[in-house]
Amino acid sequence: MQVGILYGISISTGDPELITLKGLRLLRTADIVAFPAGLNGKPGVAEQIIAPWLIEPQQRLPLQFPYVRDLKVLNQAWEEAAAKVWSYLEQNQTIAFACEGDISFYSTFTYLAQTLQAKHPEAIVKTVPGICSPMAAASVLGIPLTVREQRLAILPALYNVAELEKTLAWADVVVLMKVSSVYDQVWPILAKYKLLDRSWIVERATLPTQKIYDNLQDCPQLDLSYFSILIVQVNSSGSQQPTKN
Amino acid sequence: MQVGILYGISISTGDPELITLKGLRLLRTADIVAFPAGLNGKPGVAEQIIAPWLIEPQQRLPLQFPYVRDLKVLNQAWEEAAAKVWSYLEQNQTIAFACEGDISFYSTFTYLAQTLQAKHPEAIVKTVPGICSPMAAASVLGIPLTVREQRLAILPALYNVAELEKTLAWADVVVLMKVSSVYDQVWPILAKYKLLDRSWIVERATLPTQKIYDNLQDCPQLDLSYFSILIVQVNSSGSQQPTKN
């Protein structure tokens, strides 16, 4: 039996023009274009980004990925999504899954692909790399993310404040993804280490609603959206000598 | 006086099809296309990647960036390159600088742009983000780089072995850029922590000469090229609890 391929395609962080030629080619030649369903019946962000590129007869497949942390709920959603995807793959149809940001970097696609391959080891999954949100944020800020021998630390979530202090001690550049829910705890730490003027926040990088905060001095509190990234240049030279163990 | 814009364009890690639409548009409409000159008169990697995309009348501007660590030599090279670039910008010509990998991520372009702006504050510099090598490596390996709450550490160079042990203790995923020169010191550490079967190396990701090592068990020594990346999945679940400070 010949089965179709599931492509995970990085489609940009926001600007539709930031898709790769390869991503665009596979998106437009796929039989079915899948993406995370939007909330409350509205189109999701990925769906909006790829809208200019889709060709009329292409079938759209919105997949439900609830915004919860309950692993049981998530697992069930991934299984349902994988079953839907498989129902097309086993008919030898090609699916392009549109993913905001890079496909290998904290992507919902990973869970879908892993669930699919656990159930159907014969499934063929391929990915197309793309723009990663910290790099998009650095680009719109007009700063380098890393230079020379700077150590980079990326934290997708923060457990506690002690962890941030430990990371600031270790790394030359620190990126906090999804900083919105912990920002009021992060600000005093940045103040304590005199890093407020070496910190930037970008909300929704490269989307039309993008917002930049390039001085956090007067911003102990911010009402940030879910897709907000904080970049801290702890040590700009990157020539810090490691502490001896 | 109207001056031209210097665009720093991420052109892919190797596969020409991994350039973004925006990058391609700016590359093809620029008056001048700049790139790091190759060694010994041969075309450099960036020049080879963009070759299929260039339009005949576009002027090529190879710039010399020596592969040395001597800051004095480097500074002089950056100043010479910046002076060449400025000589076109001040004539209101647009320059697209082609950069392998992402433009904000350990990029030679940063030094060129900073040197230019220090000398000519009126210079206008813009960047286009693109594929970053660790994400390209994960994609060709068919693995996620990061999932859930995994902490990611990226080291561009290694000072000593103690530093690697410290990083392995802190992070869930570790990326070592340019691992070739330190690989014989890295391997015993990975062996000690039983991480050899959770480590991958990709040489020249997405280039036709790409090479993958997905089991390091039998490879205490490897003759790797300069653009080799090591990915270590220290803790695949990412649910590691932080140590208390």
CA–CA distance, B236 with A136 (Å, rounded to integer): 26
Domain boundaries, chain B: 5-131, 134-233
CA–CA distance, A224 with A203 (Å, rounded to integer): 7
H or E stretch at A117: helix A108-119
Q: Which residue has the tokens 């086993």?
A: A90
- β-pair type (B5-10, B124-128): parallel
- What residues in A contact B170, CB-CB < 8 Å? 153, 166-167, 170
Burial A213-227 (b: 16+ CB within 10 A, else e): beebeeeeebebeeb
C-alpha closest to that of B155 among B172, B143, B165, B167: B167
How many C-beta atoms lie closer than 10 Å to residue B221's C-beta?
A: 8
How many C-beta atoms lie closer than 10 Å to residue A163's C-beta?
A: 19
Cα maximum dimension of chain B: 63
CA–CA distance, B224 with B204 (Å, rounded to integer): 10
Beta bridge pairs of residue A124 = A5
CA–CA distance, B233 with B146 (Å, rounded to integer): 9
- What residues in A contact B229, CB-CB < 8 Å? none
Burial A175-208 (b: 16+ CB within 10 A, else e): bbbbbbebbeebbeebeebebbebbbbbbbbbbe
Q: Which residue has the tokens 């050899």?
A: B196
B134-233 belongs to CATH 3.40.50.410: no
Reduced to 3 states (helix: H, G, I; strand: E, B; else coil), residue A60 is strand
**Contact assignment for B156 to A165 by CB distance below 8 Å:** no
Token readout for A197 is 């003027």
Per-residue tens of pLDDT for chain A, all 245 residues: 899 999 999 999 999 999 999 999 999 999 999 999 999 889 999 999 999 999 988 999 999 999 888 999 999 999 999 999 999 999 999 999 999 999 999 999 999 999 999 999 999 999 999 999 999 999 999 999 999 999 999 999 776 888 999 999 999 999 999 999 999 999 999 999 999 999 999 999 999 999 999 989 999 999 999 889 999 999 986 544 433 33
In this predicted structure, what is the pLDDT of residue A238? Answer: 59
CA–CA distance, A173 with A240 (Å, rounded to integer): 12
- What residues in A contact B159, CB-CB < 8 Å? 241-242
Token readout for A142 is 């007009």
Those residues with Cβ within 8 angstroms of residue B110's Cβ, 6 or more apart along the chain or in another chain: A144, A147, B104
In contact, B160 and A164? CB cutoff 8 Å: no
Distance of CA A79 to the CA centre of its chain: 21
**Interface probe, candidates B145, B179, B235, chain A, greatest A C-beta count within 10 A:** B145
pTM of the model: 0.95
CATH topology of domain A5-131: Cobalt-precorrin-4 Transmethylase; domain 1 (3.40.1010)
In this predicted structure, what is the pLDDT of residue B153? Answer: 97
User: With a cut of 50, which residues of chain B have pLDDT below it?
Assistant: 239-245
C-alpha closest to that of B210 among B106, B133, B153, B131: B133
Those residues with Cβ within 8 angstroms of residue B125's Cβ, 6 or more apart along the chain or in another chain: A142, B5, B6, B7, B8, B113, B116, B117
Name the residue facing B17 among A21, A152, A167 (closest C-beta). A21
pLDDT tens, position by position, A30-76: 999 999 999 988 999 999 999 999 998 899 999 999 988 899 999 99
Instruction: List the Cα angle A227/A158/A63 in 5-degree steps.
Output: 45
Whats the size of chain B, residue-wise? 245
Q: How many CB pairs under 8 A join A and B?
A: 181
**Contact assignment for B129 to A148 by CB distance below 8 Å:** no
**Contact assignment for A106 to B170 by CB distance below 8 Å:** no
> Complex ipTM, two decimals?
0.95
Q: Which sign, positive or negative, has the C-alpha torsion B80, B82, B88, B90? A: negative
